[in-house]
Amino acid sequence: MDQQQAPASQAAERESKGLTKGAVGFWDGVAIGVDSTAPAYTIAAVLGSIAIIAGTQAPAVLIVSFIPMLFIAGAFYYMNRADPDCGTTFSWVTRAMGPWLGWMGGWAIFSTGVLVIGAQADVAAKYTLVLVGLDSWAESRVVVVAFACLLILALTWLSVRGTEMSAHFQRIMVGVQVGALVIFVVVALLQMATGRASEEGNSFSWSWFSPVGLPASALISGMLLGVFCYWGWESAVNLNEESEDTLDAPGRAGVVSTIILLFVYLGSAVAILGVMSLTSLEEYDDDEALFGVVGDLVLGPFGWILLVSIIISGLASTQTTIIPASRGSLSMAVAGAFPNKFREVHPAYGTPAFGTWVIGAAAIVWYVVGSLISQNFLFDSLSALSIVVAFYYGLTGLACALYWRRELRRSVKAFVLVGLAPVVGAIVLFVLLVAAVLEYSDPAASYTEADILGVGAPLAMAVFIFVVGLVLMVVSRLTFAQRYFARRGGEQVDDAVARAALGPAMPGS
């Protein structure tokens, strides 16, 4: 549709930022939240690494990693009830903790898209070529990188074309991806129950789900991978201003997405452990080719189903990862913290077109440059992601407790769900952040094993991202963002909002 031909009724449906109101339903949000984490790719790529650390207790690591994520999902829910802003962490941390931390929280969200989009598109491109029988092309980095760049451009265009269209696309993607995983898990569990599973598989034990006996260092190392496993569900919350139920549905979608991921990961982990020995599994350290092997073991001639799930996983997450960064940059621009150009919303499609294209272009540049250096550069980018994600998730947890601080004595529910749980989640994530910094300070711990100013590539990337953010923040403060940086922070939730979210206060509170 030409921009000039947009119906007048569309303009009336826009929120104050120009976004299309009511374009996303609750289940659309759940689909987007699940797809953003790329569950098929994630479990295939990460389970081998977790098995090296925890052995058959890999499911226990996934459960323990889930707990702080659930707590932070709760923080997103309650902060969205108080301030349904598409900038999420940026807006909430600014209100609760001031503009400097708020700006850095927004920058962290912006940078995650740049870090990870190329790696996700790379997986989709490579396995699409394998699926159609072009194995020789799949072995060519030039072909794969070119194809991945085309995919990023196409999915960026789809993101610009409209939130409703994107939501429908994600519904299809999550159905295919999770459906393929469910088929695999059900067949594998039936084979385990009837004794028809591969002889090299491990005998099932309930101890797989218990972290008891795992050294603290192993648990922390596993949870660093767990941060990557669960990251991304908040994309549903970034669509709050475009959702049918702005106050409640986006936050619930984030929480439900996290819970769905737990069961998808646990089911997949148990199924894989039941058909493969630890020795075989550990050979697939950060190698999504694992699904090709277990697919053949469990599904036989239908093993290609898992290959399709990997492709869908990469495609879906490539698109949904654009959402937080583009909406975050829009919110920052509206608040006066980012250049005014990022306020531009497509007049016909109601999406932050300029910011979306910037994210897509920046992701392509990072991906192409990284691919020229080494394919392992992409894996180091994913490792750096854990540091950045732990930072802004942790900030959100603290911001929730601070913003709602006046209401924490309203009830036991308020104290536990709005105060205690988000703070515990934040503390755990900051501990993991420190652990990641210590681990990646050793160049040998990275995939490239590159020594960059005495530290490993993932830590160097994370430091680079934060330094660039600090520089841009100071420049914006000195040039166009004085009004934003004049904000004081320390705001508190309105009593009427707290009453609606938590009910009446206990007597004497």
pLDDT computed for residue 3 by the predictor: 38
27-495 folds as Amino acid/polyamine transporter I (1.20.1740)
pLDDT computed for residue 372 by the predictor: 81
Residues whose CB is less than 8 angstroms from the CB of residue 337 and which lie 6 or more positions away in sequence, other chains included: 90, 94, 99, 102, 103, 106, 476, 481, 484, 485
pLDDT computed for residue 301 by the predictor: 85
Are 401 and 418 in contact by the 8 Å Cβ rule? The answer is yes
CA atoms of 324 and 319, how far apart (whole Å): 10
The single-letter code of the amino acid at 184 is F
Q: pLDDT band at 508, cuts 50/70/90?
A: low
Nearest Cα neighbor of 91 from 337, 282, 314 is 337
Q: For the chain, what is the radius of gyration of the CA atoms?
A: 22
Domain boundaries of the chain, sorted by first residue: 27-495
Q: Where are the alpha helices (DSSP H) in 135-289?
A: 135-138, 141-161, 163-193, 216-230, 235-238, 249-275, 278-281
Over pLDDT 70: what percentage of the chain?
Answer: 95
In the predicted structure, residue 7 carries a pLDDT above the cut 50? no
Q: pLDDT band at 337, cuts 50/70/90?
A: very high
Nearest Cα neighbor of 235 from 22, 35, 21 is 35
Across the range 291-302, mean pLDDT stands at: 84
Q: Which two tokens stand for residue 25?
A: 């339903």
- In angstroms, the Cα distances linking 306 to 48, 75, 192, 230, 312 are 16, 34, 19, 20, 10
Q: pLDDT band at 171, cuts 50/70/90?
A: confident
In the predicted structure, residue 14 carries a pLDDT above the cut 60? no
What is the chain's length? 509
In the predicted structure, residue 484 carries a pLDDT above the cut 90? yes
Across the range 293-308, mean pLDDT stands at: 85
pTM assigned to the model? 0.90
Nearest Cα neighbor of 234 from 361, 455, 93, 77 is 77
Q: What single DSSP character describes residue 24?
A: B
- Strand, helix or coil for residue 472: helix
Residues whose CB is less than 8 angstroms from the CB of residue 9 and which lie 6 or more positions away in sequence, other chains included: none
Are 202 and 278 in contact by the 8 Å Cβ rule? The answer is yes
Across the range 222-249, mean pLDDT stands at: 87
CA atoms of 276 and 258, how far apart (whole Å): 27
From 58-72, 239-253, 331-345, the region with the lowest mean pLDDT: 239-253
In the predicted structure, residue 93 carries a pLDDT above the cut 90? yes
Main-chain phi, psi angles of 195, to 5 degrees: 75, 15
At 174-223, the pLDDT tens digits run 888 888 889 989 998 998 888 877 777 788 889 999 999 888 888 888 88
Q: What share of the chain is helix, strand, coil (3-state, %, to 5)?
A: 75, 0, 25
Q: What single DSSP character describes residue 338?
A: S
pLDDT computed for residue 375 by the predictor: 67
CA atoms of 290 and 309, how far apart (whole Å): 13
CA atoms of 272 and 471, how far apart (whole Å): 46
The single-letter code of the amino acid at 405 is R
Q: 163-193 and 26-36 are packed helices; what angle lies between their axes, rounded to 10 degrees?
A: 70
Within 10 angstroms of residue 464's Cβ, the number of other Cβ atoms is 13
- In angstroms, the Cα distances linking 243 to 17, 35, 177, 248 are 14, 17, 23, 9
**Residue located via tokens 């129950």:** 193
- Which of 281-285, 367-371, 396-400 has the largest mean confidence? 396-400
pLDDT computed for residue 5 by the predictor: 39
At 382-419, the pLDDT tens digits run 788 889 999 999 999 999 999 999 999 888 999 999 99
Q: Where are the alpha helices (DSSP H) in 194-248?
A: 216-230, 235-238
In the predicted structure, residue 9 carries a pLDDT above the cut 50? no
- Strand, helix or coil for residue 175: helix
CA atoms of 96 and 109, how far apart (whole Å): 18
pLDDT computed for residue 350 by the predictor: 84
